[in-house]
A and B are shown apart, each in its own frame.
Chain A
Amino acid sequence: MVATVSIPAYTGPIEALLHLVSSHQLDIFDIPLADMVDGFVAEIASWETVDLQAVSEFISTAAMLIELKSKRLLPGSGEIEPDEELIGWEERDLLLARLLECQAYAAAADGFALLIEQAAKAIPRTAGLDPDFVVHAPDLLEGVTPDQIAAAFMRATAERPAPVVDLYHVTVDAVTVADAVTEMVRRLPGSGRASFRQLTGHLTSRIEIIVRFLALLELCKQGRVSLDQGHTFGDLEVAWVEGAPTNLAVTGLPTDEYEG
Chain B
Amino acid sequence: MAEYSALQVIRNALGGNEHWKPLWRKPDPKPAYNVIIVGGGGHGLATAYYLASEHGIANVAVLEKGWLGSGNIGRNTTIVRSNYLLPENAAFYEHSMKMWETLSHELNYNVMFSQRGIINLFHTPAQEDEAARRGNAMLLNGVDARFVRPEELGKRMPALDLAGSSRLPVLGGLEQPRAGTARHDAVAWGYARAADRRGVDIIENCEVTGFIRDGTRVTGVNTTRGDIYARKIGVAVAGSTSRVLAMAGIDALPIESHVLQAFVTESVKPCLDCVVTYGGGHLYISQSDKGGLVFGGDIDGYNSYAQRGNLPIVEDVMSEVVELFPAFAKLRLLRSWGGVMDMSMDGSPIITAGPLPGMYLNAGWCYGGFKATPASGFCFAHTIATDEPHPLNAAFSLDRFYRGYVLDEKGQGATPWKH
- Are A and B bound to each other? no
Q: Taking beta carbons and an 8 Å cutoff, which residues of A are in contact with B?
A: none
Q: Taking beta carbons and an 8 Å cutoff, which residues of B are in contact with A?
A: none
